[in-house]
Amino acid sequence: MSEDKAHFPPVDPVMTGIKGLCPRCGQGKLFDGFLKVKPACASCDLDYKFADAGDGPVVFVILIVGFIVVGAALWAEVNFNPPLWLHFILWIPLAVIFSLGLTRMLKGILINLQYRNNARPGEIDRG
């Protein structure tokens, strides 16, 4: 990331991450498929080897989707008392759809923020 000599206008890391675009130019695609990160940007040739979102997006997805789906299921149970099969039909597909959509967006945002803040793995200075 430090050998970047080209001048690109700054892009909004949140919007480019949601759209799945390159963190440097904001035009090339970030993903190859649904969640796999491409090796490099097709527009500006930025190497995506630095991009390692790890488990961060999934942790946020679990917390956000869990809060929404479990809260809605508890509200429905208290107010309407539907049968168990109706809970399964409603909440399992909703949780899956929310999880898949939110995982891609949050992974894109975290990779864009990694590039913007020049994030690297932690190092211990023993010198």
pLDDT at 5 over 60: no
Task: Kindly report, residue by residue over 34-88, the tens digit of the pLDDT.
Answer: 999 999 999 999 999 988 888 999 999 999 999 999 999 999 999 999 999 999 9
pTM: 0.85
Report the pLDDT value the prediction gives residue 2, as an integer from 0 to 100: 52
Tokens of 14: 């949140």
Report the pLDDT value the prediction gives residue 62, as an integer from 0 to 100: 96
CB-based contact 61:106 (threshold 8 Å): yes
| pLDDT grade for 4, boundaries at 50, 70 and 90 | low
Q: Tell me the CA distances in angstroms from 83 to 69, 91, 99, 103, one per residue in order.
A: 17, 13, 24, 30
pLDDT at 94 over 80: yes
